[in-house]
Structure 1
Amino acid sequence: MDALNKVWSRFFKFDWKFGLFVILLFGIPRFILVLQANVSGGYGLVSIIFVIMWFSPFIFLTRKGRKEIGLKKPRILQLLYSFVLGALFCGLAFYITHFIYGDSLGNSFAYISKSYLLPEGQLDANRFMFFITFAISGMIFSPIGEELFFRGIVHGSFVEQFGERKASFFDSAAFALTHLAHFGIIYNLGTWSFLPVPALLWVLFMFALSQLLFRCKQLSDSIFGAIVCHAGFNFAMIYFIFYHIL
């Protein structure tokens, strides 16, 4: 039985061509919507993309295909390790970035913090509540959607031709380049600009994070390891934004 369901198996095999197709199918609109959100401050449409990614294994894959990409019961203790590893990696990325760029726009964390729309004058009195609200959202939407998509469908589509290790390079590259919309191409004071060196550092961090997410998937024998590691990274990132930047 093929990994792709009947609708999609008419046009594709579960191979690198299908992987490239879904990268473009989801990646292009997501990239555009994130850039637009950097201007407007509204991430509602981006969240919709993440929710669609949640259902992507059920849209494209059979039950066998979903099991192949790791949608199965995890090793529970390894989920805790995965969360901690994700948070620690975020801490490493934050301190390296802050050491090099301080609080300038070359700091990816500082730039991303500018997209957090908060009621004026209420942050100090309600910092913890804002942190918790953003943290809960950050640990749900993108970790589930992006991991089911990148470490799940995209990764799985490259495995047969390239093997697990090389397939992880393809999904990591797609993940890292997609995140240029979040930082690297920046909007500030009404103008767009590209920061080549900070962007390269950000992309390298995102690629390294992807490799860690892949390892956590293997560690837990389930894609839930990658999801929880991603959630740990986002939790720590939001902590650093609220307690070290804003």
Structure 2
Amino acid sequence: MAKELKPFWSNYFDFNWKFGLFLILLICIPRFILVLNANETANYGYIGLVMLISAIAPFLFLSKDGRKAIGLTRPKNLHWLAWAFLGGLLFSMLLYFLGGFLYGHSFGNWYAYIGRSYNIPTGIQHDDKLVMFSIMAITGMIFSPIGEEFFFRGIVHSSFAKSVGDFKASIIDSSAFALTHISHFGLVYIHEEWRFLTFPTLIWVISMFLVSILFYFFRRRTSSLLGSVICHASFNLGMIYCIFYFLN
């Protein structure tokens, strides 16, 4: 029988739902607090650290067999990688049009609120805007897709799947992902005060849950976390493009 956990950790944990819950509490609660703090202070440096820790979690806790079991393998069905990219991009655009239809350019629009953190100067020249967009897009397509997919669709999903099966595990990891993103939008800091936007938050959480299911779908289709990483990266690309060129 393959041992998913490294020998040291197997002395303290079994690779099951309890280990998955431990990881969620270990990573998601500090992350939630740090993102809220970043929204208030405009200091987002620690968020990159959280993504780095999320990305290295499989290498810290899992054996070679364990990393293979969670999807850190070469993808199969390579044509699904192209569909993964298209799927993430389309979902991001759909979410833009939904936010625009319901809330225009107000902070009730999730993209408008998130875009505030980019600090895009008013009246920025086209070439400067392109450079800034490129930097944000490249960053957004690397750090959070790798960190979050290795964590949520990788080690967390697989630990729960060991106990309750893939379907229920996908519900759990997608729910954890969606609720964690309330710190990005939902509990908002506007005009030096905190607000909770009830209905926009509900739409946002449901959207984050559904896009998580989409990420997992492409993980399954490609038999690799690369499928979910590419879908996540293209979603971020679409979101950042909408913020730079449709909202600004």
Q: Is TM more than 0.5 here? A: yes
Which residue identity does 2:94 align to in structure 1?
A: L
Which residue identity does 1:209 align to in structure 2?
A: V
Which whole-Å CA distance do the structure 2 matches of 1:223 and 1:208 have between them?
17
Other-structure match for 1:33: 34
- Which residue of the other structure, out of 230, 237, 240, is the alignment partner of 1:238? 240
Which whole-Å CA distance do the structure 2 matches of 1:10 and 1:207 have between them?
34
Other-structure match for 1:224: 226
User: Percent sequence identity over matched residues?
Assistant: 48
Report the Cα offset of residue 229 of structure 1.
Answer: 0.2
Report the Cα offset of residue 93 of structure 1.
Answer: 1.1
Which whole-Å CA distance do the structure 2 matches of 1:145 and 1:119 have between them?
29
Alignment gaps of 5+ in structure 1: none
Secondary structure of the 1:186 match is strand
- Which residue of the other structure, out of 128, 134, 145, is the alignment partner of 2:147? 145
Secondary structure of the 2:15 match is coil
Which whole-Å CA distance do the structure 1 matches of 2:188 and 2:123 have between them?
26
TM-score, normalised relative to structure 1: 0.97
Say whether residues 1:184 and 2:205 are aligned partners. no
Alignment gaps of 5+ in structure 2: none
Which whole-Å CA distance do the structure 2 matches of 1:65 and 1:147 have between them?
15
Other-structure match for 1:193: 195
Other-structure match for 2:74: 73
Which residue identity does 1:183 align to in structure 2?
A: F
Other-structure match for 2:43: 42
Which whole-Å CA distance do the structure 2 matches of 1:43 and 1:83 have between them?
27
Report the Cα offset of residue 120 of structure 1.
Answer: 6.0
Other-structure match for 2:60: 59
Secondary structure of the 1:122 match is coil
Pair 103,213 (structure 1): closer, same or farther in 2 beyond 3 Å: same
Which whole-Å CA distance do the structure 2 matches of 1:111 and 1:156 have between them?
33
Report the Cα offset of residue 122 of structure 1.
Answer: 3.3
**RMSD after superposition:** 1.2
Pair 99,45 (structure 1): closer, same or farther in 2 beyond 3 Å: same
Give yes or no for contact 1:41–1:116 (8 Å, CA) kept in 2: no
Give yes or no for contact 1:31–1:181 (8 Å, CA) kept in 2: yes
Report the Cα offset of residue 78 of structure 1.
Answer: 1.6
Superposed counterparts of 1:89-128, under 5 Å: 89-118=91-120, 121-128=123-130
Aligned residues: 246
TM-score, normalised relative to structure 2: 0.96
Other-structure match for 1:14: 15
Per-residue CA deviations over 1:109-157 (Å, capped at 9, x if unaligned) read: 0000111124565354511111111000000000000000000011001
